[in-house]
């Protein structure tokens, strides 16, 4: 259990260090240039602006995005696009179970008009 405790401590120290680095990055800028969002080292995103419901939805449930990770709504790091995670888990499950991807196709419909069958494309 000591290893797990050490990993948690390392993770906490890393997160605190990233938050401090982001705040220091913004405080070093002239006051009129502070945006309170950006990237640490060009890699780790941070955003300390008040979140909106649209930003929260787009970060955590975005069917229009193919990306699994997006910029976090508030704080430092990334958010998980749960819609994309659901799609990937379904794909992995289907492959593991040997299920072919399902595709729904509509067959032409037969309708009777005046006693004679008529296909849907007439």
Q: Give the dihedral of Cα atoms 60, 63, 68, 73; nearest 10 deg.
A: -30
Quickly count: other Cβ atoms within 10 Å of residue 59's Cβ: 22
Quickly count: other Cβ atoms within 10 Å of residue 35's Cβ: 10
Quickly count: other Cβ atoms within 10 Å of residue 110's Cβ: 9
121 pLDDT exceeds 80? no
Spatial contact of 40 and 22, defined as CB atoms under 8 Å apart: yes
| pLDDT confidence tier of residue 99, bands split at 50, 70 and 90 | confident
Spatial contact of 87 and 66, defined as CB atoms under 8 Å apart: no
Token digits of residue 114: 């005046």
Token digits of residue 88: 């990937």
Summarize pLDDT for 12-62 with one digit per residue, the tens: 999 999 999 999 999 999 999 999 999 999 999 999 999 999 999 999 999
pTM of whole model > 0.85? no
């Amino acid at each position: 259990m000591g290893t797990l405790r050490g990993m948690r401590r390392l993770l906490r120290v890393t997160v605190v260090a990233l938050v401090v680095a982001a705040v220091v990055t913004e405080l070093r800028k002239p006051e009129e240039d502070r945006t309170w969002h950006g990237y640490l080292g060009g890699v780790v995103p941070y955003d300390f602006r008040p979140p909106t419901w649209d930003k929260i939805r787009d970060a955590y449930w975005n069917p229009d995005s193919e990306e699994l990770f997006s910029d976090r709504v508030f704080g430092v790091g990334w958010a998980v696009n749960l819609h994309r995670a659901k799609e990937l888990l379904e794909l992995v499950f289907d492959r593991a179970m040997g299920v072919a991807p399902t595709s729904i196709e509509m067959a032409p419909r037969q309708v009777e008009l005046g006693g004679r069958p008529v296909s849907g494309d007439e």
